[in-house]
């Protein structure tokens, strides 16, 4: 039995859904991740799952592709009940998932990754035939990719294409994309949507997960909204709008807006002078000057891989720049290590949240304690109170303060890290400056708005804020000033209100300002 929903635009009458979850419930210790959820996608349709962090979106997708098994309820493929014991089973039924964290082998080529672990692949690999087929699929669906390129040399956007090609190569007719646009630049998002539409034109069914309402409106035929594991609404995109979707998600009216301050002070709380980072024969950061004043938010825009990561690490003291100087609140911290930078008043939210940000195997309380100055008697009780407050304020979905960080959903682990790093920002005794990579990446609109509010408050209270992000919308909505990073240099810089969107986009692509049409 399929859920009683009208067929999508690509479906012919009487056709069963390509895939359906029927009354699926999934529990984790202390958490009801999905609660009797019905969901289905018709061939030729894009169906978005929308919901706050921890709402159960990834869990639902994981059950649809065979990664998790439902505790109750079942999955149907073309109207027939199927039992999926693994993602391999899912693929045998033509169901493929592209996870937010890619699962490619770095030192293998595109073609090698595509066939790696493919049960249908003949034992003796005909390399040329595989490469031809990969190129062919790329051409057909607008996923240009060199089958012989080695993964480690590809950008994040190109890696995502490889993941999609891999699923198509293995015959997936149902594709699940978990927050695919979180890692893409605006032109890459456009290209992905073209690909999605060429897939639905072929009758494929697409499940799309995203927090960005504009995108959801642009790409989907239908939207299912989840909240705390349950479905709160299912609507056709044609019958809804962003505000309505936001309300379904959060449960009350939401204001979607930005505010820019004019509280900039004369003194500089974070500066880089001539910072250069050379690794072997590669110049990753090339003679960069940045000044962030108290009361100011500066955004570094750019496509990933243009020096953002080494620049942030050099500023935060994680690596020593080859030349140049870094100061925090007037103190020269160059080459003195991350603890010295912290002592001088710098907070740092790195790009890789789990790993250098949070320790997955430690509890939330212990993660809060990690960056406390040593030498005190460790005060677990105050750390626990702090995380408990954060759970409240950030609406972090977790059964408790002693849960391991690895059990949190993508967005919720980010909230924990932000809570730790933003604590006291802008207060007299707190951090004076912060460097934060992609502050709202992966956050639902409520949490994103809350974090934007925190950063704006910190600015009003005189902190210097440096944001680094590939998401141009994010940079523009938060920053007073923008600098575009291209090949380790600042290609364009100016007040946000005075830089046209197109000029920023061109600078990100390496087209000089003067050459712009
Ligand atoms: N392997 C796991 N072990 C324990 N709890 C889990 C596990 N996976 C998910 N959960 C919990 O289930 C709930 C739903 O998580 P899920 O990852 O599906 O959320 P999501 O909607 O994808 O959120 P986000 O937008 O933050 O990615 C969360 O409370 C999460 O902490
Ligand atoms: Mg998720």
The CATH number, out of the four listed (3.40.190.10, 3.40.640.10, 3.40.50.720, 3.40.50.300), of the domain defined by the range 268-354+426-510: 3.40.50.300
Higher per-residue pLDDT: 298 or 251:
298
pLDDT tens-place string over residues 386-433? 899 989 988 888 999 999 988 888 888 888 888 888 888 877 778 899
CA-nearest residue, atom 4 of ligand 1: 407
- Which residues does 245 contact at the CB level (< 8 Å), separation at least 6? 50, 213, 216, 217, 223, 225, 235
Q: Which ligand is nearest to the CA of 99?
A: 2
Q: Tell me the sheet residues that pair with 268.
A: 293
DSSP 3-state of 24: strand
Q: What is the pLDDT of residue 4?
A: 43
37 pocket-lining for ligand 1 (C-beta < 6 Å): no
Angstrom distance (rounded) from CA 149 to CA 218: 32
Mean pLDDT, rounded, for 231-252: 89
Give the ligand at the shortest distance from the Cα of 353.
Answer: 1
Tell me how far the alpha carbon of residue 209 lies from the centroid of ligand 2, in angstroms. 8
| Threshold 0.95, pTM exceeds | no
pLDDT at 353 over 70: no
The answer to whether the beta carbons of residues 287 and 489 sit under 8 Å apart is yes
Tokens of 41: 């996608």
Mutate which of 29, 32, 33 for ligand 1? The one with the most ligand atoms within 8 Å of its CB, which is: 33
CA distance 281 to 117: 36
Position 204 pLDDT exceeds 50: yes
- Mean confidence (pLDDT) of the chain: 87
> For residues 503 and 512, what is the distance between their CA atoms, to the nearest angstrom?
9
- State the pLDDT at residue 264: 65
Q: Three-state SS for 129?
A: helix
Q: Tell me the C-alpha distance between 224 and 49, whole Å.
A: 5
| 397 within ligand 1 shell (Cβ under 6 A) | yes
In the chain, the largest separation of any two C-alpha atoms, in whole Å, equals: 71
Q: Name residues whose C-beta falls within 8 Å of residue 64's C-beta, 6 or more positions apart in sequence.
A: 19, 21, 39, 75, 90, 95, 97, 174, 176, 207
> Is residue 420 classed as helix, strand or coil in its secondary structure?
helix
Q: How far is the CA of 57 from the centre of ligand 2 (A)?
A: 6
- Lookup: tokens for 72: 């109750």
User: For the chain, what percent of residues have pLDDT higher than 70?
Assistant: 90
- pLDDT value, residue 426: 75
446 lines ligand 1 (CB under 6 A): no
Question: What is the pLDDT averaged over residues 454-477?
Answer: 89
Q: Please identify, by atom number, the ligand 1 atom nearest to the C-alpha of residue 49.
A: 21
Domain boundaries of the chain, sorted by first residue = 19-102+171-249, 268-354+426-510
> Which pair of tokens denotes residue 424?
């006291």
**Dist. CA 252 → ligand 1 center (Å):** 23
Q: What pLDDT is attached to residue 517?
A: 41
Taking a C-beta distance cutoff of 8 angstroms, is the pair 49, 85 a contact? no
pLDDT in tens, 99-151: 877 778 888 999 999 988 776 665 566 888 899 999 999 999 999 999 999 99
Residue 2's pLDDT band (cuts 50, 70, 90): very low
408 touches ligand 1 (CB under 6 Å): yes
User: Which tops the pLDDT comparison, 188 or 323?
Assistant: 323
Q: What is the pLDDT of residues 53-107, one digit of tens each?
A: 889 999 999 999 999 999 999 999 999 999 999 999 999 999 999 987 777 888 8
What letter does residue 123 receive in the DSSP assignment? S
Q: Which of 123-127, 183-187, 357-361 has the lowest mean pLDDT?
A: 123-127
Report the share of the chain in percent with pLDDT over 90.
Answer: 54
Q: Give yes or no on whether 19-102+171-249 and 268-354+426-510 have one common fold.
A: yes
Token pair 């060429």 is found at 198
Ligand 1 within 6 A of 28 CB? yes
Residue 1: the pLDDT is 40
Which ligand is nearest the CA of 210, by number?
1
In degrees, rounded to 5, the angle at the alpha carbon of residue 41 between the alpha carbons of residues 219 and 103 is 75
> What is the side-by-side strand order in the sheet with 46-51?
95-98, 174-178, 205-209, 46-51, 222-227, 230-236
Residue 414: the pLDDT is 82
Lowest mean pLDDT among 42-56, 173-187, 347-361: 347-361
Please name the residue ranges forming H helices in 202-296.
213-219, 242-250
Residue 185 has a pLDDT of 75
SS3 state at 92: helix
- pLDDT bin (cut points 50, 70, 90) of residue 373 is low
Look at 348 and 373; give whichever has higher pLDDT: 348
Model confidence over 274-303: pLDDT tens digits? Answer: 999 999 999 999 999 999 998 899 999 998
Tell me how long the chain is: 517
Asked if residue 355 has pLDDT above 50, the reply is yes
Residue 447 in contact with ligand 1 by CB distance below 6 A: no
State residue 378's pLDDT score: 63
Mutate to test the pocket of ligand 1, among 27, 28, 229 (most ligand atoms within 8 A of CB): 28
CA separation for the pair 305, 490 (Å, rounded): 14
What band does 443 get if pLDDT is binned at 50, 70 and 90? confident
CA 27 and chain centroid, separation? 25
Over residues 245-273, mean pLDDT: 72
Structural contact between residues 401 and 365, judged by C-beta atoms closer than 8 angstroms: yes
Q: Which one, of 92, 114, 223, lies nearest residue 162 by Cα?
A: 114
Cα–Cα–Cα angle for 411, 402, 455, rounded to 5 degrees:
40
CATH hierarchy code of domain 19-102+171-249: 3.40.50.300
């Amino acid at each position: 039995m399929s859920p009683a929903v009208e067929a999508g635009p690509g479906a012919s009458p009487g056709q069963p859904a390509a895939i359906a979850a029927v009354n699926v419930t999934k529990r984790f210790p202390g958490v009801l991740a999905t609660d009797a959820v019905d969901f289905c996608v018709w061939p030729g349709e894009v169906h978005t799952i929308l919901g706050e962090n921890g709402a159960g979106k990834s869990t639902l997708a994981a059950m649809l592709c065979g990664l998790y098994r439902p505790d109750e309820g079942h999955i149907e493929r073309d109207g027939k009940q199927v039992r999926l014991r693994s993602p391999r089973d899912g693929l045998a039924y033509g169901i493929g998932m592209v996870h937010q964290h890619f699962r490619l082998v770095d030192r293998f080529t595109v073609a090698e990754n595509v066939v790696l672990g493919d049960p249908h692949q003949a034992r003796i690999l005909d390399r040329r035939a595989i490469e031809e087929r990969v190129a062919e699929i790329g051409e057909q669906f607008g996923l240009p990719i060199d089958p012989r390129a080695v993964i480690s040399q590809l950008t994040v956007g190109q890696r995502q294409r490889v993941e999609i090609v891999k699923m198509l190569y293995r015959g997936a007719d149902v594709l699940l994309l978990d927050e695919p646009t979180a890692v893409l630049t605006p032109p890459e998002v456009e290209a992905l949507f073209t690909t999605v539409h060429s897939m639905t034109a072929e009758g494929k069914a697409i499940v799309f997960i995203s927090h960005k309402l504009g995108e959801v409106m642009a790409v989907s035929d239908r939207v299912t909204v989840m909240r705390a594991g349950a479905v709160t609404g299912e609507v056709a995109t044609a019958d809804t709008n962003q505000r309505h979707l936001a309300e379904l998600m959060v449960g009350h009216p939401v204001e979607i807006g930005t505010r820019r301050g004019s509280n900039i002070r004369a003194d500089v709380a974070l500066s880089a002078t001539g910072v250069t980072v050379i690794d072997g024969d590669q110049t990753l950061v090339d003679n960069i000057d940045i000044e962030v004043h108290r009361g100011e938010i500066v955004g570094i825009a750019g496509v990933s891989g243009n020096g953002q990561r080494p620049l942030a690490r050099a500023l935060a003291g994680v690596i020593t720049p080859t030349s140049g100087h870094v100061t925090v609140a007037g103190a020269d911290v160059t080459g003195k290590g991350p603890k010295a930078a912290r002592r001088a008043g710098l907070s740092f939210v790195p790009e890789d949240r789990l790993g250098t940000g949070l320790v997955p195997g430690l509890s939330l309380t212990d993660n809060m304690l990690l960056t406390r100055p040593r030498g005190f008697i460790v005060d677990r009780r105050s750390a626990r109170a702090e995380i408990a407050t954060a759970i409240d304020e950030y609406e972090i979905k977790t059964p408790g303060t002693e849960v391991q960080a690895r059990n949190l959903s993508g967005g919720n682990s980010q909230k924990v890290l932000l809570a730790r790093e933003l604590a006291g920002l802008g207060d007299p005794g707190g951090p004076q400056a912060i460097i934060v990579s992609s502050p709202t990446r992966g956050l639902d609109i409520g949490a994103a708005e809350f974090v934007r509010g925190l950063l704006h408050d910190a600015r009003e209270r005189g902190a210097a804020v440096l944001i680094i992000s590939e998401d141009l919308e994010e940079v523009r909505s938060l920053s007073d000033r923008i600098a575009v990073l291209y090949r380790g240099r600042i290609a364009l810089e100016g007040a946000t209100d005075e830089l046209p969107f197109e000029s920023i986009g061109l600078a990100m692509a390496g087209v000089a300002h003067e050459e712009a049409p």
